[in-house]
Amino acid sequence: MTEDALAYVNERGLGSLAEKMGIEMLEFTIERAVARMPVEGNTQPADLLHGGAYVVLGESLGSMSANLHAGPDKLAVGIEINATHTRSATSGYVTGVCTPIHLGRTLTTHEIAVSDDQGRRCSTIRITNLIKDRP
């Protein structure tokens, strides 16, 4: 399942926004998803990684993970997200590690820890997704 899920998401893609931001999925299972994103090209005027970029990385990981859990007949959609930024990344890559907090029939909640190349946590994101029938 692990290799199949990662191959599926790499073939399907993460969406045009994630593609524009250079997000690359590295690991993808229901228990853990990992992706990285370059700082360059995703900065604010002060040359720090934009806070919204952290959130895009977190939402990409959390939503894809929720949809993997939901299965092919369901659709997981984000209903709440929050982020706490604790450090600024200025170069290299940031890596997000997404783990489930709750995997239910109708709701999922994931935490995404985003760290810089030195392993220092820069942002913590939590996302809740609603699982519903596909239209």
pLDDT at position 6 is 86
pLDDT at position 3 is 64
Residue ranges, the chain, pLDDT below 70 = 1-3
Distance, CA of 106 to CA of 88 (rounded, Å)? 35
Q: What 3-state class would DSSP assign to 39?
A: coil
pLDDT at position 127 is 98
pLDDT at position 87 is 97
Measured from the Cβ of residue 108, the count of other Cβ atoms closer than 10 Å reads 26
Phi, psi at 57, each rounded to 5°: -60, -45
Per annotation, catalytic residue among 27, 31, 40, 59: 59
pLDDT at position 2 is 53
pLDDT at position 1 is 46
Phi, psi at 19, each rounded to 5°: -65, -45
Q: What 3-state class would DSSP assign to 132?
A: strand
Give the predicted TM-score (pTM) of the model: 0.94
The question of whether 59 is a catalytic residue gets the answer: yes
